[in-house]
Every structure is written in structure tokens, then in C-alpha cells.
Amino acid sequence: MQDVSNENRYQTISRVNWVCTWVDAVLTVFKLAIGFIAHSPALVADALHSLSDLGTDILALVLGKLAQHGPDEDHPYGHARYETMGTAVLGTALIMVAFGIGYENIKALIQGETSSPHWIALIAVAVSIISKEALFHYTMKYAKLTRSNLLEANAWHSRSDSLSSVVVFVGIICSLLGYPMIEYLAALGVAALIAKMGGELAWNAMQDLIDRGVSPDQQQAYLNTLNSVEDILDVHLLRSRIMGTDVFIDAHVQVAPTLTVSEAHQINDFATALLKQQHDEISDVTLHIDFEPDHRVKKTVLKPMRRKLEALLRDRKLPEYERLYLHYCDNKLNIEIVFANHHEMSDVKSRCESLVEDHDWINAIEIQQKI
């Protein structure tokens, strides 16, 4: 199954949420009407459960709409976390539904409540089970297609309604056969299952909201991709964070210390494009270019020295040079100076050696003549 493009993703999520909204609206009205006509309190309760689904559908529509807005001045990384927040809310709603079902059925068990519904209530419950189970599979299909946790949460909310309808169906049959208590025991089992679903969804969403990273296996895949770039010598300090369905990456990559700025930038751009090409979930990459092994305990203490060095070279009366390359390593400078081929190099070399001796932050000076 191919992922939909970013352009169509939120349109798909919105369409699925609208389908869920209309189905739940029709089922709520249908089950309420049949529940009152058939004198089935269980069916009326199930209709109220569908009503809670309708409320979460509307919430999913609103948050899905908000999540599709791109970056702006106040939200430079976009609004994808509205979707994550919606997942957390829907997961919490499932937990509340589970506690509500558990409370009502424990209360009924203690009080020994019974009901004598009409058999026609079974038809309404059967329609609800088929509709909600079909809605679950439909929503889950597009949740996977769009990688939407919000749709997945809504799908499980539909499944919770389907399971509660199964309990109601069994309860009505048991009531008609003279065993009303079986319904309540089955309902408690369903409540526990719904609470588990909701807890997992809410917990995972909360982890994403506090910048949870990707799994170790996924992170290793990113490292392998970066290490496959020929001119990258090492990759370290890779970090990731999940933003809705997107992943943001930053890492340090080491390249040869003598590369030009433009070549290092070219490597950076190529590595960034390769990551996004091979891993669709990555939407933003920040790579820090290192010219030597990078250690957490090591700090850069040598400030940029080009201007000071140029002044020192003038003071030493060195002839005019054509190129001056500075290579920093271990907080010292390796200097490369290119002169025109008509200069006498013996005197230049002597002055450069004295410059190295007089300044401990200069490691070495290499002299070249332009051919």
C-alpha cells in the first residue's frame, strides 16, 4: 500500500472523518428511536455511546483541519501536533467511555437490575455492529495509508462502539432467554479492553507531545543512510523527534578538514536529500558539519583568527599572497599560503617559521607557489 502524497493526505483524513461523523449521527438517531420503542435501556445506552463517538468525530474534524496548516510566524514547524493532541484526547475519551461502561454495569450487577426488551431491538443492534465494524476497517485502512494516529484513534473509538453493541446484543438475547446478568459480566470485559486501547493511544500521543524520538531500529536506518554518503567520514549525535506523522532529524557529520565551504555544503545538501528520499516520514533535516572528531567534553576556545593572522603576515613583511587557507584542528591553526611563482621562498619560509614559534595557536604554516 502506497502512502498518499502530503498534498492529498489531509484531504483524505478530512473525508474519512466526515464519513465517520455521518455514520455515527445516523446510528445515534436510529438506536435512540428503536431503544425507546423497544423499551431497551441497553440499546439507549449504546445509542449514547454512539453519541460520544459523534462528539469525538467532530473533534477529529476540527483538529484535523487545524493540523493541515503549514508553518507560520508563530509556528515555524507547522501545526502537526494538533493531530497528536487530538489522538491524546480521543484516547482519553476511550478511557472515560470504558469507565462509564464499567460503572454502569457494576452498578447494575450490585442492584440486580433486569430488563425485558422487545426482540426488534436485536435488529437495531445488529445494524450497529455491522456498521461500526465496517467503519472501523474503513477508517483503519486510511489511518495506515496516511500514517495518521488521529484516524487510528477514531477507528478504535468505532471499534469500542462495535464491541459495546456486541455486548448489548448478547445481553438482549440473554434477557430474552432469562439470563440478564451475563450481559453485565461481558460488558465489564469489553470495558477493560476499551480502556487498554485508549490508554495505549493516549500514552503514545503524550510521548510524541514531549518530543519522543524514533525507535532505535529506525534511528539506525537513518545512520546507515548518512554513512552511505561517500564523503561523510562519521555520523554522530543524531537526534530525532516526532511531529505528528513527520520526523525531524538533526545530526553531526564529519568531513575532511581541508574541504572548501562549497564542497561541504554540497555534501550536506546531498545527504539531506538522500535522507528524505529514502525515508518518506522525514520532513526536516539539520546537519552540522564537523571537520574533526567531535567530543561532548571538548569546547572550541580559539576564536576566528583570519583577521589577526592577516595583520601578523603584514607585520612580518611577507610578500602579497594569492590564497590564504586556514584549517582548524584541536584549537590550533594549520595555515596554507599560496604565493605567485616569482617570489623568493627562502626568506618567506624563514619568516613563517618564526611566526609559528612566536604564537602557540599556530600549529604549522605550509607555503606553496602558484604554477
Phi, psi of 284, rounded to the nearest 5 degrees: -145, 135
Is 296 domain-assigned?
no
Question: How many CB atoms lie under 10 A from the CB of residue 316?
Answer: 14
Please say which residue of 290, 323, 345 terminates a domain: 290
Is 295 domain-assigned?
no
Nearest to 200 by CA among 49, 281, 103, 94: 94
Quote the distance between the C-alpha of residue 309 and its chain's center: 47
220 and 205 housed in the same domain: no
Question: How many CB atoms lie under 10 A from the CB of residue 215?
Answer: 10
94 and 54 housed in the same domain: yes
pLDDT (tens place) for every residue of the chain, 371 residues total: 444 555 577 788 788 888 888 888 888 888 788 777 776 666 666 676 677 677 777 777 777 677 667 677 777 666 767 777 777 887 788 788 778 878 877 887 787 766 565 677 778 788 888 988 998 999 899 888 887 777 887 788 788 778 777 877 877 787 777 776 766 776 677 677 778 877 887 887 787 777 778 889 999 999 999 999 989 999 998 999 887 677 899 999 999 888 888 999 999 999 999 999 999 888 889 999 988 776 655 677 888 889 999 999 888 888 888 889 888 888 888 899 988 776 677 888 888 888 999 999 999 998 888 76
Domain that residue 262 falls in: 216-290
Cα dihedral 329/330/331/336 (nearest 10): -20
167 and 190 housed in the same domain: yes
Give CA–CA dist 7/18, Å, rounded.
18
Grid cell at residue 242: 516526532
Please say which residue of 225, 257, 290 terminates a domain: 290
In sequence order, the 6+-apart residues with CB closer than 8 A to the CB of 322 are 338, 339, 340, 370
End-to-end CA distance of the chain: 60
Is 300 domain-assigned?
no
Give CA–CA dist 224/235, Å, rounded.
9
97 and 15 housed in the same domain: yes
According to DSSP, the residues that pair with 246 across neighbouring strands are 243
Give CA–CA dist 99/113, Å, rounded.
19
Is 299 domain-assigned?
no
196 and 220 housed in the same domain: no
Domain of 59: which CATH number? 1.20.1510.10
Q: Give the number of domains in the chain.
A: 3
Grid cell at residue 226: 548518512
267 and 321 housed in the same domain: no
Q: Are 271 and 253 a contacting pair, CB within 8 Å? A: yes
Please say which residue of 183, 209, 235 terminates a domain: 209
Give CA–CA dist 365/355, Å, rounded.
9
Q: Sort 224 into a burial class: Cβ within 10 Å, 0-12 / 13-18 / 19+.
A: exposed
Q: In what order do the strands lie in the sheet with 362-369?
A: 321-329, 332-339, 362-369
Q: Are 43 and 117 a contacting pair, CB within 8 Å? A: yes
118 and 247 housed in the same domain: no
66 and 156 housed in the same domain: yes
pLDDT digits (tens, 9 = 90+) for 32-91: 887 777 766 666 666 766 776 777 777 777 776 776 676 777 776 667 677 777 778 877
116 and 228 housed in the same domain: no
Give CA–CA dist 106/334, Å, rounded.
79
Domain of 363: which CATH number? 3.30.300
221 and 109 housed in the same domain: no
Domain of 268: which CATH number? 3.30.70.1350
Is 46 domain-assigned?
yes
Is 301 domain-assigned?
no
30 and 125 housed in the same domain: yes
86 and 188 housed in the same domain: yes
Give CA–CA dist 168/174, Å, rounded.
10
Is 298 domain-assigned?
no
Is 143 domain-assigned?
yes
Quote the distance between the C-alpha of residue 350 and its chain's center: 60
